[in-house]
Structure 1
């Protein structure tokens, strides 16, 4: 079995707001293996991006990690001082492809200036050497090396996204988190970015967490899929198992809401209601107010993860 590069156990990250404590990441556990792509899917507001930033050791204020463990290459990072995280962990061990490339790139600096900063800071490279490395990575993602001398506004959306991908790979991290890297791109560019990610996974052996709400994209790239709902992972397993034999009612409803080309479907499914308020989530299973199969036990007790098949787990009292 492939080496485990990321191990997350009972992770909790809450936002401490004036209105109350938002349980955005609530008791999450999973592993990521070397060379594997783990897809993370769920509705908007379920905690996907919050989990991504938490794994980087940089939850958005007023968020704080309140419990749990994050081990990257066997090293515990929860509790490490900020200067150690910045110097030894971020970008070197774990990096992130941010959602919305234009927001991640500073418009007043050239692409090269922004790309070489981590190389100079972490590796002690001279400017010219760092620029050479940046140009090689731009070529790797299918861009002209001369783009290092351009400003972000001179690039298209797809080109900016490729720059962000190249920047995330510069330090050869063990884990890459891709936070909805195809959002706001047109369908053609989306396909190009997905093909690029598959190519990089094959050539570099990337271990990646791919965050999206689009299950059809995950079908293209993921080895395993985790489904999040209201701050919790409700199902996780091999992508084929998740797509062909979904066990949790939420996963079943999500998949039934996707149009299919080669199947006659009278109408698409939908999930009634809306995700719960995570300041005061429902007692028991958090999905029970929207679940067509809810029983009395669902309203009173929270279900634990049950193994349905090899490496296929779901949290539901029906199982």
Structure 2
């Protein structure tokens, strides 16, 4: 049985703003096994990207990790000094494919210059060695090695995204976080990027957290799916269980909003209302103001994430 490469326990990361404390990541726990892909889905603003940056040990200011544990390959990273995180953890143990490839590359430097910097700093390689490795990784993601000599503005959106993927893999990290890597790309390029990620998972044995709001994309790549709502994971389990036997009303509604190719669906559903303000979230279950099955207990007590089937957990009083 594959061992856990990432273990997250009771993780809390809040943004401390002038208007109050935003509970963006609020008491989250999960495991990621070696070679496994965890899909993380939910509406915009539910805390998916905040969780990704928190796992990197770099929550966006004014965010701070308040409580909890993050262990990568058995090593606790919460509380490590910033210089240790930079030298030993980020990009070497855990890396990130950023959401906006258009903005992640510096327009005034060549692609090669930006790719070799971590190799020179972290691995002590010469520039020629680093450039050679960068070219190999560009080939790995289906790009011409000569792209190292080009500037970002000379590349298409899909090519930039592949450069970002290659950069995230350069130091051979244990875990890769892909934060909506197909955003702003057309459907053909989206399919190419998804197929590339599946190939890299198979060839390199990557452990990956794939963040998106598009459940149809997750069906293609994920072994396990976690559904986030208002800073919490409200359902997590094997991807087939989540897609065929969704337990939480929120997951059911999300899936019912997606068109199906091989099923007759009379009408697509939607979720009324909007996600709660995380400065002052609702008492009890955070989904209860929008839930068609809300009971009195839902408005008073917060449900715990409990196992409802083998390796299938959900937080709902209906269960």
TM-score tier (shorter): over 0.9
Paired residue secondary structure (2:45): coil
Once superposed, which parts of structure 1, at least 4 consecutive aligned residues long, lie more than 4 Å away? none
Separation in 1, partners of 2:4, 2:298: 33
- Residues 16-51 of structure 1, C-alpha deviations (whole Å, 9 max, x = no match): 000000000000000000000000000000000000
C-alpha displacement of 1:261: 1.3
1:149-206 CA-partner distances (Å, limit 9, x unpaired): 0000000000000000000000000000000000000000000000000000000000
SS of 1:22's equivalent in the other structure is strand
- In the alignment, the residues of structure 1 paired with residue 97 and residue 261 of structure 2 have an alpha-carbon distance, to the nearest angstrom, of 31
Shift of 1:266: 1.5
**2: CA distance, partners of 1:262 / 1:201:** 28
Query: Helix, strand or coil for the counterpart of 1:280?
Result: coil
State the secondary structure of the residue aligned to 2:216: helix
Aligned to 1:308: 308
Please give the alpha-carbon distance, in whole angstroms, between the structure 2 residues aligned to 1:196 and 1:129. Answer: 25
Note the C-alpha offset of 1:306. 1.3
What is the deviation of 1:263? 1.5
| Cα separation, 2, equivalents of 1:200 and 1:93 | 17
Rounded to whole Å, the distance in 2 between the matches of 1:40 and 1:247 is: 16
Q: For each residue in 1:194-227, what CA deviation from the matched residue of structure 2 results, as whole angstroms up to 9, or x when unmatched? A: 0000000000000000000000000000000000
- For 1:268 and 1:170, the matched residues in 2 are separated by 42
Q: Residue 268 of structure 2 aligns to a residue in which SS?
A: coil
| Residues paired across the two proteins, number | 319
Kindly state the Cα deviation for residue 106 of structure 1 after the two structures are TM-superposed: 0.2
Secondary structure of 2:264's counterpart equals coil
Q: Distance in 2 between matches of 1:69 and 1:244?
A: 32
TM-score by length of 1: 1.00
Distance 1:9 1:161 in 2: 31
> Cα offset for 1:264?
1.5
Instruction: Give CA-to-partner distance per residue, 1:50-88, whole Å, 9 cap, x none.
Output: 000000000000000000000000000000000000000
Give the aligned partner of residue 232 of structure 2: 232
Deviations 1:238-275 (Å, cap 9, x if unpaired)? 00000000000000000000011121212101000000
- Equivalents in 1 of 2:8, 2:156: separation in Å? 36
Equivalent in the alignment of 2:64: 64
Shift in Å, 1:102:
1.3
SS in 2 for 1:181: coil
1:110-125 to 2 correspondences below 5 Å? 110-125=110-125
Distance 2:306 2:34 in 1: 25
SS of 1:69 mapped into structure 2: strand
Q: Which residue of 1 aligns with 2:173?
A: 173
Question: Mean Cα displacement is larger for which, 259-268 or 77-86?
Answer: 259-268
Structure 2, unmatched stretches of 5+, are none
Q: What secondary structure sits across from 2:26 in the alignment?
A: strand
Query: In structure 1, how many angstroms separate the alpha carbons of the residues matched to 2:266 and 2:3?
Result: 45
Deviation at 1:97, TM superposition (A): 0.1
Matched with 1:21 is 21
Structure-2 residue corresponding to 1:157: 157
Q: Using the alignment, how far apart are the partners of 1:116 and 1:33 within structure 2? A: 29
287-296 vs 256-265, which moves further: 256-265
2: CA distance, partners of 1:248 / 1:266: 22
Give structure 1 stretches of 5+ with no counterpart. none
Give the superposed CA RMSD: 0.4
- Secondary structure at the aligned position of 1:117 is classed as helix
Residue 83 of structure 1 aligns to a residue whose secondary structure is helix
